[in-house]
Chain A
């Protein structure tokens, strides 16, 4: 059970990041590259900054969030000011981030004594387990707090309302006086903050050194999770647990039997296909709604 929860922690961050941009009807996949790049950048602080326990971890998380926000704001500017498709620019940005992150790794971070990975992080930078016998770490509490904050932001603030309005009908929102450029920028920055934080937390909690040589895949999982949760931050927790359940199950079955771990990729893709298919169960939907009106 601990495996599922520890696997769900980065998925909660990525699901939240994606749900914020999806609420504004922006299909941005930048969380994928940001997870990787923020982990690379915070490695400098985690390895070399001589800070005390607590302050060191806080600095790392704040730095990761800032890195994410800066990168997402670039994608946001491209969308808001130049009309660039956020999907295309975020996918291209992922490649740029992978390249730059790999350069930082090879040039500055790589430990010549280790076969793969950076120098180990300082002990003061690491998260330890909060549940004995598992690897569940403080990131879980941070993820739950961030979920609550995102929920309040989306459903209880003016900016959140504007994001939802733009997501439901951009033209209507524009005519009713909402600054769409501002909304695009805010949703991108918030999404970047969350995904950058997720990359930092995952890195200092689970890896103890920077060891990713390719994009970790959390961004794409985040898209599925946000879709499953219908972009609701509270639903993200449950859909993250479901995806983590599938992933962990696939890992166990791949280790102990002859079923390949790619099984979970097939399942994830299938769920995305079904959920994104507007016409799936459409006739039942009509009947369901009509029956409700009839009962009233």
Chain B
């Protein structure tokens, strides 16, 4: 793979990481319970949640 392609892949990853950081900041600003919200946003899908019970 040439270096330009590798760089484009890295650039895409940087964009995704920036988006995730922005998500983190937005949640911190708008949520009353940011820790819970961040946990739900990033790893909520991986947990076996009963969403009706938690709320």
Contacts and interface: CB of A to CB of B under 8 A. Distances in A.
Contacts of A253: 27, 37, 40-41, 44
Contacts of A242: 16
Contacts of A228: 12, 15-16
Interface in A244-296: 245-246, 248-250, 252-253, 255-260, 263, 266-268, 270-271, 274-275, 280-281, 284-285, 288-289, 292
A230 B8 contact: yes
Contacts of A255: 51, 55
Contacts of B51: 252, 255-256
B2 to A, nearest CB: 8
A258 B16 contact: no
B26 A263 contact: yes
B45 A271 contact: no
Interface residues of B, number: 35
Interface of B: 3-9, 11-12, 14-16, 18-20, 22-23, 26-27, 30-33, 36-37, 40-42, 44-46, 49, 51, 54-55
Given A268-B19, A275-B12, 20 more contacts: A242-B16, A249-B45, A253-B27, A253-B37, A253-B41, A257-B31, A257-B40, A258-B33, A258-B37, A259-B37, A259-B41, A260-B30, A263-B26, A263-B27, A266-B26, A270-B18, A271-B16, A275-B15, A285-B7, A292-B3
5 contacts: A253-B37, A256-B49, A258-B30, A274-B19, A285-B4
Interface of A: 1, 3-4, 228, 230, 242, 245-246, 248-250, 252-253, 255-260, 263, 266-268, 270-271, 274-275, 280-281, 284-285, 288-289, 292
